[in-house]
Amino acid sequence: MKQTAVKLVRRVVSKRAISRLEDTYRKNRARLLGMRYGHPAKHLRVIAVTGTNGKTTTVNYLNEILKEAGYTTAMFSTSTIEVAGVLTPNDLNATVASTGRMQQFFRDAKRSQVNFVVMEFPSHAIHQHKLYGVPVDMAIMTNLTQDHLDYHGTMEAYAEVKGRLFAMEPQYVVLNRDDTWFEYFNQFPAASQKITYGKHEEAEAHIDSVTLYRKGTEAVVTVDHQTKLELATNLPGEFNAYNMTAAAAAAYLLGVELDDIVEGIANLETVPGRFERVAEGLPYDVIVDYAHTPDGLEKLLTAAKAITKNRVILVFGACGDRDKSKRPLMGEIAARLADRIILTDEESYNEDPAQIRAMIYDGIERTKGGAMKTTEIDDRREAISKALGVATKGDTILITGMGHEVYRIIGGKRVPWNDAAVVRELLGKK
């Protein structure tokens, strides 16, 4: 027994030592790469958006607001990268690039004399110190829901990593008052000002009302109990009311004129892979979305049902080598909210795709009537084709999980793939 205990202690100590060495290496690497490029981020006003869902859309909203206000911006999001108005797709299949690539981005932003850099700060990048040494002027929190537990282990550990961003005590902090983890993040002070947003009665940017349309959303927001903003966006769903309110609250703290906030939000016509309509002129809607978490899927399905006259047809799966516990949860959500389900493969990485589907199907079966409305088709192209074949007037087809991505990782290999392109190809053949 004593020998076993000693071995266990040695193993734990060894893991901690290795972790400290890894941290030291990554920090030193970030310092050296920063020096190589002349520490460009230190000359920039960086706005960091973190959270589980909504980061990409919030970044895009705020970027448009700041541009409308006359500022020169740089943006690094999961779907797109922009420097001084030059937009390119993010084809990295990653929210944040390597440390070296990020330093190049900051260098380009500095050379372009941008006023603000708006970017996503995901937990992996924070934990791996990819953005170590980057000063953050403003930190925005969207929400914290189950994701990345394969990496962080627990929600508490996940929250702690996100919290490191706010522990830097940025000048400005923007928090979702309705988020279940609000109190945790609210413990961190802002060096200058903090603002909260949401429907909660204490939210300082209060969402008074939300009106949903088939091709957009309107929200009335009252800031500081006196300033009313009537916001309108082309992006549907109540979750997008939260995203645009987060961006509006952030811009308000920065002193942006109210008219520029309203116009900037209206300027955002679409975000690739985020409630993206990929075909026009059909009797039904086809929408591609990145939703890949239980919370994201539930919000997406709820939004689709609110604006769909007939059925919501869901084509979805789950990613391999990731949090396995969320798979049956997503199955339950799909079975509860979708009218018809086509269960298919997403990115299996190094896992058996049949096993991934089986875990999702377990959740579907737990829900009354779930199995009856589910068809399992492993080939994703065939699954999308099936959905297009069964859709009728007034239906909405949701194809989730891949969003804007341009390749899938299957069996450890990259395979070219884009959901929207596949839809257009199949419709062209029809």
* 79-114 residue pLDDT tens: 999 999 999 988 876 667 788 898 999 999 999 999
Per the structure, the count of domains in the chain is 2
Give the helix/strand (H/E) hosting 286. Answer: strand 285-289
Burial 143-153 (b: 16+ CB within 10 A, else e): bbbbbbbeebe
239 and 336 assigned to the same domain: no
Same domain, 218 and 263: yes
Q: Kindly report, residue by residue over 373-421, the tens digit of the pLDDT.
A: 999 999 999 999 999 999 999 999 999 999 989 889 898 889 999 999 9
**Full residue range of the structural domain in which residue 334 is found:** 276-429
Q: How far is CA 214 from the centre of its chain?
A: 22
Mark whether 163 and 241 lie in a shared domain.
Answer: yes
262 and 303 inside one domain? no
Q: Of 219, 250, 267, which one is at a domain's C-terminal end?
A: 267
Are residues 258 and 305 located together in one domain of the fold? no
Domain boundary among 212, 236, 267: 267
- The answer to whether residue 289 sits within a structural domain is yes
The residues with which 91 forms a beta bridge, in sequence order, are none
Query: For residue 11, is pLDDT > 70?
Result: no
Other residues' Cβ atoms within 10 Å of the Cβ of residue 183: 9
What's the pLDDT at 3?
A: 59
Same domain, 210 and 286: no
pLDDT, tens digit, for every residue of 343-357?
999 999 999 999 999
pLDDT-derived band of residue 21, with 50, 70 and 90 as boundaries?
confident
**CB-CB contact of 131 with 121 (8 Å):** yes
Q: Which two tokens stand for residue 51?
A: 């959270």
The reply to whether 218 and 295 lie within a common domain is no
What is the per-residue pLDDT across 62-86, written as a single tens digit (0 to 9) for each? 999 999 999 999 999 999 999 999 9
Residue 12 forms part of a structural domain: no
Is residue 387 assigned to a domain? yes
Clarify whether residues 352 and 239 are in a common domain: no
Neighbouring CB atoms inside 10 A of 53's CB total 24
Any domain includes 168: yes
Contact 146, 294 (CB under 8 A): yes
CATH, residue 285: 3.90.190.20
pLDDT at 9: 43
Tell me: do 220 and 74 sit in the same domain: yes
Angle in degrees, 0-180, between the axes of helices 294-307 and 238-253, rounded to the nearest 10: 110
DSSP H or E run through 335: helix 326-337
Where is the domain boundary, 267, 299, 331? 267
Q: How far, rounded to the nearest angstrom, does the alpha carbon of residue 16 sit from its chain's CA centroid? A: 31
Are 73 and 117 a contacting pair, CB within 8 Å?
yes
Residue 223 shares a structural domain with residue 309:
no
Write out pLDDT tens, residues 229-284. 999 999 999 999 999 999 999 999 999 999 999 999 999 999 999 999 998 899 99
pTM of the model: 0.90
Q: Is residue 10 part of a domain?
A: no
Gap between the Cα atoms of 322 and 251, Å rounded:
35
Whether 338 is covered by a domain: the verdict is yes
Q: What is the CATH number of the domain that holds 103?
A: 3.40.1190.10
* C-alpha dihedral (110, 115, 120, 124), degrees to nearest 10: 40
Same domain, 284 and 263: no
Alpha-carbon distance 305 to 396, whole Å?
A: 8
In a domain, 28, yes or no: no
Q: Is residue 8 part of a domain?
A: no
Q: Do residues 126 and 238 share a domain?
A: yes
